[in-house]
Amino acid sequence: MKTTISMIAILLLAAVSVKAEDLYTVSDISVRQRWPWSKKVDIDFLVSLPPGGNPTVGVDVTVMAKDGSTPLSISQSSLSGDISLVGPGWRRIVWDPTVDYPDTTFTQFNVTLSVTRSRPTYMIVDLRKQLGDDGFITYRYEKGIWNAATNYDNCYYCFVMRRVPATTSDEWKAINGGNDYFVLGSPTTEYARNSSREGPNNCRLTNDFWVSHIELSEGQLYNAGTGSVQSVRRAQRSYDAMRGTVAQGINWPSTGHAVADGSILKVLRDRTGLEFDLPTEAEWEYACRAGTTTPFADGVYKTTYTDADYEASMNTLGRCKTSGGTVWNDPPYAYSPNGWGIFDMHGNHNEWCLDWMIDNVNAAQADPMINPVGPPSSGGNTRAVRNGGATSSASGCRSATRSHAGPGTAFGVRLVCPYTDPAQ
For 222-238, what is each residue's pLDDT tens digit? 999 999 999 999 999 99
Nearest-angstrom CA–CA distance, 365 and 1: 25
In contact, 288 and 297? CB cutoff 8 Å: yes
Q: Are residues 90 and 201 in the same domain?
A: no
Handedness of CA 370, 373, 379, 383 (dihedral sign): positive
9 part of a folded domain: no
Nearest-angstrom CA–CA distance, 339 and 75: 9
7 part of a folded domain: no
pLDDT tens digits, residue range 280-294? 999 999 999 999 999
Residue 16 has pLDDT above 50, yes or no: no
2 part of a folded domain: no
* C-alpha closest to that of 67 among 92, 101, 28: 101
5 part of a folded domain: no
Question: What is the residue type of 416?
Answer: V
258 part of a folded domain: yes
In contact, 223 and 154? CB cutoff 8 Å: no
Predicted TM-score (pTM) of the model is 0.91
8 part of a folded domain: no
Residue 11 has pLDDT above 60, yes or no: no
Q: Are residues 183 and 225 in the same domain?
A: yes
Q: Are residues 66 and 160 in the same domain?
A: no
Domain containing residue 255: 122-418
Residue 89 has pLDDT above 80, yes or no: yes
| Number of domains the chain contains | 2
Q: Are residues 35 and 170 in the same domain?
A: no
> How would residue 48 be classed by pLDDT, with cut points 50, 70 and 90?
confident
**Which of 58, 92, 117 corresponds to the end of one domain?**
117
Q: Are residues 188 and 254 in the same domain?
A: yes
**Which of 83, 117, 151 corresponds to the end of one domain?**
117
Residue 395 has pLDDT above 60, yes or no: yes
CATH number of the domain to which 283 belongs: 3.90.1580.10
3 part of a folded domain: no
Q: Are residues 75 and 131 in the same domain?
A: no
Comparing 24 with 264, which gets the higher pLDDT? 264
How many angstroms separate the Cα of 325 from the Cα of each of 46, 205, 316, 390, 392? Answer: 56, 37, 16, 8, 12
Q: Are residues 329 and 410 in the same domain?
A: yes
Q: Are residues 204 and 319 in the same domain?
A: yes
Q: Are residues 413 and 277 in the same domain?
A: yes
* C-alpha closest to that of 8 among 36, 34, 32, 43: 36
231 part of a folded domain: yes
pLDDT tens digits, residue range 141-175? 887 788 888 888 999 999 999 999 999 999 999 99
Q: Are residues 29 and 126 in the same domain?
A: no
Q: Are residues 178 and 71 in the same domain?
A: no
Residue 7 has pLDDT above 60, yes or no: no
Report the percentage of the chain scoring pLDDT > 90.
Answer: 72
Q: Are residues 141 and 178 in the same domain?
A: yes
**Which of 117, 139, 164 corresponds to the end of one domain?**
117
